[in-house]
Amino acid sequence: MNLLKKLLAVVALVPALALASEGGFPLDRAPDRSSDLSALQNGARLFVNYCLNCHSASLVRYNSLRKIGLSDDQIRENLLFTSDKVGDLMKTSMSDKDAKAWFGGVPPDLSVIVRAKASNAGTGADYVYTYLRTYYKDESRPTGWNNLVYPGVGMPHVLWELQGVRKAKFVEEKDPHDPSKTVHSFAGFEQVTPGKLSSQAYDAEMADLVGFMEWMAEPVKSKRQQIGVWVLLFLALLVFLTWRLNASYWKEVK
């Protein structure tokens, strides 16, 4: 019994540790862009321009973007900037050696990052959406940037020109669990310099980008959900027929 209690305690602690390891900052709900082709196409543009320079999406081919309404010519003219071909995988040209020298490690592959970041705190889309919107200037960091969702992040704010430069304001408050201690609490952002986009426009762009990354992590999601509905309807019909057959059988037996 004692061993079972210990195991249950560890299981209950794991989500809390996972959340605390990246700041425990509350996640905002990501807007649903799964059925908006224009948003997904804009997200693909943002991904190629701002993410693919350092990160790969090695499980996705450029020609799979046909599924979000892009033709091969559109992909070739707007999303291919090197010698890549439409049928190639979406890989970065940055070498692992350069990545380690510049960032201290190899940036993760983003093919399924949205699914990987799902937790008890929210969906993976919620995580990435909040992460992309909570960067702030921090001169104590090697890159000059920090993040509320992922404190001590090694990735710089590559979208700062769109969002502008912001600083985070913190206040010291009494710990609600121990009044003798204080906690460092987030108290809002201070806009230092404006970006190319307004706050609302930037959030909308991030929603499109996250929507594309969510689609990229599972391109057949909508098809899977459609098939699931038909499967449930079939099972419901099967249950009804079985019920009536069972009633008919026992009626004859009686």
pLDDT at residue number 99: 82
Q: Helix and strand tally (H, E) in the chain?
A: 9, 6
Token output for 122: 């929210």
Buried-exposed string 210-248: b where 16+ CB fall within 10 A, e elsewhere: bbbbbbbbeeeeeeeeeeeeeeeeeeeeeeeeeeeeeee
pLDDT at residue number 40: 97
Residue 60 main-chain phi, psi, to 5 deg: -125, 135
User: Does residue 97 surpass a pLDDT of 90?
Assistant: no
Distance CA 103, CA 196 (A): 26
pLDDT at residue number 22: 58
Reported confidence tier of residue 23, pLDDT bands at 50, 70, 90: low
pLDDT at residue number 96: 84
Q: Would you tell me the crossing angle of helices 199-217 and 124-132 to the nearest 10 degrees?
A: 140
For a pLDDT cut of 90, what percent of the chain falls above it? 65
Q: Are 73 and 63 in contact (CB under 8 A)?
A: no
SS3 state at 27: coil
> For 26-72, how does the pLDDT look when each residue is reduced to its tens digit (9 = 90+)?
999 999 998 899 999 999 999 999 999 899 999 999 999 999 999 99
pLDDT at residue number 164: 97
Task: Work out whether the CA dihedral 82, 161, 124, 211 comes out positive or negative.
Answer: negative
Q: Which residues pair with 191 in a beta bridge?
A: 166
Reported confidence tier of residue 8, pLDDT bands at 50, 70, 90: very low
Please name the amino acid found at residue 25: F
* Mean residue pLDDT across the chain: 87
> For 102-144, how does the pLDDT look when each residue is reduced to its tens digit (9 = 90+)?
877 889 999 999 999 999 999 999 999 999 999 999 999 999 9
> Average pLDDT of 186-214?
96
Lowest mean pLDDT segment, chosen from 132-141, 157-166, 185-194, 223-232: 223-232
Contacting residues for 141 by C-beta, under 8 A, at least 6 apart: 152
pLDDT at residue number 176: 76
User: Does residue 246 surpass a pLDDT of 80?
Assistant: yes
* pTM, full prediction: 0.80
> For 134-173, how does the pLDDT look when each residue is reduced to its tens digit (9 = 90+)?
999 999 999 999 999 999 998 999 999 999 999 999 988 8
Token output for 85: 């071909």
Q: Which residues pair with 171 in a beta bridge?
A: 185
Of 152, 143, 138, 134, give the one whose Cα is nearest residue 206: 134
Token output for 220: 């057949």
Distance CA 40, CA 213 (A): 9
SS3 state at 93: coil
pLDDT at residue number 254: 60
> Average pLDDT of 90-97?
87
**Quick count: other Cβ atoms within 10 Å of Cβ 34?**
16
Token output for 223: 């098809």
User: Does residue 7 surpass a pLDDT of 80?
Assistant: no
